[in-house]
Amino acid sequence: MNIINHQEVAEEKVTLMQSLKRFYFTSEWQSLLTIPYLFLFLYFAIFYIDNIFFAIRFIFRTFTVSTTLLSLSHVLWGAVLVVAVSMPFVISLAMISVLPNIWKKVSWKKDQKILITIGAFIAAIFLMSIANDLILAVGQREILDVFMPTGGSILEI
């Protein structure tokens, strides 16, 4: 026989947006640090949302090109491009929910949480930087010119 605590049931119904709002916009001094963090990664998400539209246009462009005689390298470079283009946006959105997940861990000490937060922040910036460089390097590959209109470049889709 299971005994259900009504308070536990009420806590389960909290949506992700509500829990993020509750974490970032509290009336505590930590909000002075969490709100700029939130806005920084929201800005990154807004900045990189064009990359998602680019990836979708690139995928749909592959539907209009005859891929019958293309090699496996066309598929691989195209997939690398789509993943690289999507990475900064996905990382920036993920980092918004990472901070609350780090700080709600009761078993971790405060200094461990601070170090993990700093490490996650540095890792996110580093990964977005690598993805940005990868986008430029892969986007300039001639093998992807097949997916472009005549005279175009992959970076101009």
Per-residue confidence (pLDDT) for residue 56, from 0 to 100: 93
Residue 145 near residue 154 (C-beta atoms within 8 A): yes
Q: Which residue has the tokens 């891929």?
A: 67
Per-residue confidence (pLDDT) for residue 47, from 0 to 100: 95
Helix (H, G, I), strand (E, B) or coil at 118: helix
Per-residue confidence (pLDDT) for residue 28, from 0 to 100: 78
Rounded Cα distance, 47 and 93, in Å: 11
How far is residue 115 CA from its own chain's centroid? Answer: 21
Per-residue confidence (pLDDT) for residue 14, from 0 to 100: 72
| Domain boundaries defined on the chain | 6-156
CB atoms within 10 A of CB 73: 11
Q: pLDDT tens track of the chain, all 157 residues?
A: 555 555 555 555 778 888 888 888 877 777 778 889 999 999 999 999 999 999 999 888 888 887 777 888 888 998 999 999 999 999 999 999 999 998 888 888 989 999 999 999 999 999 999 999 999 999 888 888 887 765 556 666 6
Rounded Cα distance, 54 and 68, in Å: 23
Q: What is the DSSP letter of 150?
A: T
Per-residue confidence (pLDDT) for residue 119, from 0 to 100: 96
